[in-house]
């Protein structure tokens, strides 16, 4: 490579040469090949960040542990086996005959056996009416109560004998027995349990302090991290399995606060209530469920994250039951159609479908149709995030709530209440399907509507204070039918504005069409309560009034 002085050039003899030297020799700044090669390398390194892909560092996996033995030896003493027993009601008769393939050699055998042992005064399943061949024979004495047993796992969180497990492990138990790794058995008492998160807290009395393990900050868990599961699969006692965190924030539709850690560490029946450990020996989750068609592990297990579990455990320890924050709303998912109809750039947040009268949301002036996009300075990315965030908020704390309303953000202040045992929900209003005289047909939406009057109120059994416009017919195959609307449902609001007559509803639709929106948002009062339904807008030929 040659470098030249940047001096002014002028024309001479058809070439470009310096004005004071017509035939200058080319000047090399660096004559050494080694130096020139070094400069090329340096130039490439400096240019790398400017070129896409050249400056990226390759993903490198850390080496797997040579052995989990030291960690397992440290943790095993803190994991216990839990067995429960309960009285089952006496059976009135024998169980039904097992399902056998037609023509099986055992089919007739079981039929004869069941007939011989059938209690007097009963008929075989599917038998025709007529005299009972066993009528008048001595009655079989009632069978005594049976004892049922179940097995699970747990772990010690306090040397005084506090043990955490799943609620479903001890649910309905009359007696709970804890077996320590040294085969010591202790009777346990129930401190408290929580069905919604499936966590229970037990207490045992021991003559000496028990080895305890701490909860981790599960928010630091990453997909791909190594984990250990220790438990009591199939009653085999302390069993250690290893795997990784397969996924985070899994919703398996088991409750309102689903936020599970998914792992491929082998988890089987009996592992329920056992701990999922990180490599620091901390509990990052409580093994709770598996996905399986056979009952055995296929590498898809789920654990309650520690950050959620330890809040519940602390409340069970202090109050004997879980205390959760409560906003007093009914919410639904924000779909792309709903987002477009309210001017939200992307679907997200939780849409308010109903408000509990006198609840925290009502007092904070939150309205149906608002979309909660932030609560207590935490983003609500989707509907299922809001119940968990509210539940984890301190009761009695005033927090900011950012909602999307009228095309812009509004920040309100809400005082978080305590979730009642049986929170009230919006009431449903059943309805019929017959046509109604004088109904207005909305051809573009596939709906027939009518005002709420004495006849329609009686016909569809609407509440005396019900307001809105009642749906009297839904066109089969229409968008309204696909979204589950039916006769008897009531349209309460359109685009977050109340409507009480078909004329008001038509006016709102015309306004929406003038705004060139692709869908219209309606608040529907149905048998399931209130919920928002977006309907696509098509060419509307105008209302047609059917003759009565």
Could you say which DSSP state residue 294 is in?
S
| Judgement on whether residues 281 and 335 belong to the same structural domain of the protein | no
pLDDT given at position 27: 43
| Judgement on whether residues 156 and 229 belong to the same structural domain of the protein | yes
Measure the CA–CA gap between 364 and 325, rounded to whole angstroms.
15
Q: What is the CATH number of the domain that holds 216?
A: 2.40.10.120
- Mean pLDDT (the chain) is 77
Considering only CA atoms, give the Rg of the chain: 35
Q: What is the CATH number of the domain that holds 383?
A: 2.30.42.10
Measure the CA–CA gap between 479 and 381, rounded to whole angstroms.
27
pLDDT given at position 354: 84
Reply yes or no on whether the pLDDT at 213 is more than 90. Answer: yes
- Residues 66-89 pLDDT 10s: 899 999 999 999 999 999 888 765
pLDDT given at position 275: 95
Q: Find all residues with CB under 8 Å of 42, minimum gap 6, and list them.
A: none
| Judgement on whether residues 158 and 267 belong to the same structural domain of the protein | yes
Reply yes or no on whether the pLDDT at 519 is more than 90. Answer: no
Measure the CA–CA gap between 162 and 317, rounded to whole angstroms.
9
- Residues 222-234 pLDDT 10s: 999 999 999 998 8
pLDDT given at position 158: 95
Q: Is residue 433 part of a domain?
A: no
Note if the pTM is more than 0.85.
no
Three-state DSSP class for residue 544? strand
Domain boundary among 275, 292, 322: 322
- The top-scoring range by mean pLDDT among 227-231, 331-335, 465-469, 503-507 is 227-231
Q: Is residue 450 part of a domain?
A: yes
> Is residue 129 exposed (0-12), middle (13-18) or buried (19+ Cβ within 10 Å)?
exposed
- Residues 151-196 pLDDT 10s: 899 999 999 999 999 999 998 888 999 999 999 999 999 999 998 8
Are 368 and 523 spatial neighbours (Cβ–Cβ below 8 Å)?
yes
As a whole number, mean pLDDT of residues 338-343 equals: 86
Three-state DSSP class for residue 34? helix
Q: For residue 457, what pLDDT band results from cuts at 50, 70 and 90?
A: confident
As a whole number, mean pLDDT of residues 246-251 equals: 90
* Neighbour count for residue 410 (Cβ, 10 Å): 14
Give the least confident one: 39-43, 279-283, 384-388, 518-522. 39-43
| Judgement on whether residues 181 and 318 belong to the same structural domain of the protein | yes
What tokens appear for 404 in the block? 């999307």
As a whole number, mean pLDDT of residues 96-117 equals: 54
Q: Is residue 501 part of a domain?
A: yes
pLDDT given at position 525: 87
| Judgement on whether residues 532 and 463 belong to the same structural domain of the protein | yes
| Judgement on whether residues 342 and 465 belong to the same structural domain of the protein | no
Reply yes or no on whether the pLDDT at 110 is more than 60. Answer: no
pLDDT given at position 16: 37
pLDDT given at position 538: 63
**How would you label 305-327 residue by residue, b for 16+ Cβ within 10 Å and e otherwise?**
bbbbbbbbbebbeeeeebbbbbb
Tell me which residue has tokens 């429960």.
Answer: 84
Using CA of residue 30, residue 33, residue 38, residue 43, what is the dihedral sign?
positive
Q: Is residue 94 part of a domain?
A: no
| Judgement on whether residues 155 and 255 belong to the same structural domain of the protein | yes
Beta strands in 195-309 (DSSP E): 199-204, 226-231, 239-250, 260-263, 275-277, 283-290, 301-305
Domain that holds residue 483: 440-545
Measure the CA–CA gap between 152 and 80, rounded to whole angstroms.
9
Reply yes or no on whether the pLDDT at 147 is more than 50. Answer: yes
As a whole number, mean pLDDT of residues 290-294 equals: 79
Measure the CA–CA gap between 190 and 315, rounded to whole angstroms.
14
Q: Is residue 18 part of a domain?
A: yes
As a whole number, mean pLDDT of residues 369-398 equals: 90
| Nearest residue to 230 via CA among 261, 268, 177 | 268
- Residues 5-50 pLDDT 10s: 333 333 333 443 333 344 444 444 444 555 566 656 555 555 555 4
Measure the CA–CA gap between 82 and 80, rounded to whole angstroms.
6
pLDDT given at position 139: 53
Measure the CA–CA gap between 194 and 288, rounded to whole angstroms.
13
Tell me which residue has tokens 């039951």.
Answer: 321
Q: Is residue 274 part of a domain?
A: yes
Measure the CA–CA gap between 351 and 193, rounded to whole angstroms.
31
Reply yes or no on whether the pLDDT at 280 is more than 80. Answer: yes
Reply yes or no on whether the pLDDT at 115 is more than 70. Answer: no
Are 437 and 457 spatial neighbours (Cβ–Cβ below 8 Å)?
no
Give 394 or 426, the one with higher predicted confidence: 394
Give 533 or 58, the one with higher predicted confidence: 533
| Judgement on whether residues 390 and 494 belong to the same structural domain of the protein | no
Counted domains in the chain: 4
| Judgement on whether residues 357 and 445 belong to the same structural domain of the protein | no
As a whole number, mean pLDDT of residues 313-324 equals: 90
Could you say which DSSP state residue 105 is in?
H
| Judgement on whether residues 181 and 222 belong to the same structural domain of the protein | yes
Q: What is the DSSP string of 36-102?
A: HHHHHHHHHHHHGGGSTTTSPPPP-PPPPPS-SHHHHHHHGGGEEEEEEEEEEPPPSSPPPPPP--T
Residues in the chain: 548
pLDDT given at position 545: 40
| Judgement on whether residues 214 and 313 belong to the same structural domain of the protein | yes
Reply yes or no on whether the pLDDT at 439 is more than 70. Answer: no
What tokens appear for 484 in the block? 């589950």
Measure the CA–CA gap between 426 and 492, rounded to whole angstroms.
13
Measure the CA–CA gap between 381 and 500, rounded to whole angstroms.
34
Q: How many CA atoms lie within 13 A of 469 on its CB side?
A: 26
| Judgement on whether residues 79 and 220 belong to the same structural domain of the protein | yes
pLDDT given at position 69: 92
Give 131 or 27, the one with higher predicted confidence: 131
Domain boundary among 355, 384, 418: 418
What is the set of active-site residues?
168, 198, 272
Q: Is residue 533 part of a domain?
A: yes
Q: For residue 423, what pLDDT band results from cuts at 50, 70 and 90?
A: very low
Domain boundary among 373, 388, 418: 418
pLDDT given at position 73: 93
Reply yes or no on whether the pLDDT at 337 is more than 70. Answer: yes
pLDDT given at position 447: 84
What tokens appear for 331 in the block? 């919410």
Give the least confident one: 13-17, 252-256, 261-265. 13-17
Q: Is residue 133 part of a domain?
A: no
């Amino acid at each position: 490579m040659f470098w030249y002085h940047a001096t002014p050039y002028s024309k001479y003899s058809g070439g470009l040469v310096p004005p004071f030297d017509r035939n200058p020799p080319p000047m090399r700044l660096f004559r050494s090949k080694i130096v020139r090669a070094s400069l090329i390398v340096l130039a490439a390194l400096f240019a790398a960040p400017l070129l896409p892909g050249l400056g990226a560092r390759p993903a490198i996996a850390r080496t797997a542990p040579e052995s989990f033995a030291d960690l397992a030896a440290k943790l095993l003493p803190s994991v216990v086996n839990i067995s429960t027993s309960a009285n089952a009601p006496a059976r009135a008769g024998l169980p039904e005959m097992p399902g056998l393939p037609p023509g099986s050699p055992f089919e007739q055998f079981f039929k004869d056996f069941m007939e011989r042992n059938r209690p007097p005064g009963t008929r075989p399943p599917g038998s025709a009416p007529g005299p009972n061949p066993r009528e008048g024979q001595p009655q079989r004495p009632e069978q005594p109560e049976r004892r049922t047993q179940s097995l699970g796992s747990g772990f010690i969180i306090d040397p005084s004998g506090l043990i955490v497990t799943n609620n479903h492990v001890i649910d309905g138990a009359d007696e709970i027995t804890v077996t320590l790794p040294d085969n010591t058995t202790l009777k346990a008492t129930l401190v408290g349990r929580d069905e919604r998160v499936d966590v229970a807290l037990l207490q045992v009395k021991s003559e000496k302090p028990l080895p305890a393990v701490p909860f981790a900050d599960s928010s630091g868990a990453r997909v791909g991290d190594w984990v250990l599961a220790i438990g009591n699969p199939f009653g085999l006692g302390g069993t250690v399995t290893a795997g990784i965190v397969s996924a985070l924030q899994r919703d398996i539709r088991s409750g309102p606060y689903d936020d599970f850690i998914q792992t491929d560490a082998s988890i089987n029946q009996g592992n329920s209530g056992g701990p999922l450990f990180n490599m620091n020996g901390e509990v990052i989750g409580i093994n709770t469920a598996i996905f399986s068609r056979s009952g055995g592990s296929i590498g898809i297990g789920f654990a309650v994250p520690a950050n959620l579990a330890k809040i519940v455990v602390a409340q069970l320890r202090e109050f004997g039951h879980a205390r959760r924050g409560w906003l007093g709303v009914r919410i639904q998912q924000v779909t792309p159609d709903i987002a477009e109809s309210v001017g939200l750039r992307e679907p997200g947040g939780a849409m308010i479908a109903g408000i509990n009268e006198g609840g925290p949301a009502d007092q904070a002036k939150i309205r149906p149709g608002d979309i909660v996009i932030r609560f207590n300075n935490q983003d609500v990315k989707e509907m299922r995030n809001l119940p968990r965030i509210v539940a984890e908020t301190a009761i009695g704390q005033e927090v900011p709530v950012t909602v999307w309303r009228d095309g812009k953000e509004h920040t309100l202040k809400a005082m978080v209440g305590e979730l009642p045992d049986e929170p009230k929900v919006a009431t449903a209003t059943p309805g019929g399907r017959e046509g109604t005289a004088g109904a207005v047909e909305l051809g573009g939406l596939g709906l027939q509507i009518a005002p709420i009057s004495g006849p329609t109120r009686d016909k569809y059994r609407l509440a005396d204070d019900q307001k809105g416009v009642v749906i009297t017919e839904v066109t089969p195959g229409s968008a309204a039918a696909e979204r589950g609307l039916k006769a008897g449902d009531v349209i309460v609001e359109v685009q977050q504005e109340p409507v009480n007559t078909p004329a008001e509803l038509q006016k709102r639709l015309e306004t929406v069409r003038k705004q060139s929106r692709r869908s219209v948002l309606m608040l529907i009062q149905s048998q399931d309560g209130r919920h928002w339904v977006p309907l696509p807008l098509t060419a509307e030929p105008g209302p047609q009034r059917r003759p009565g």
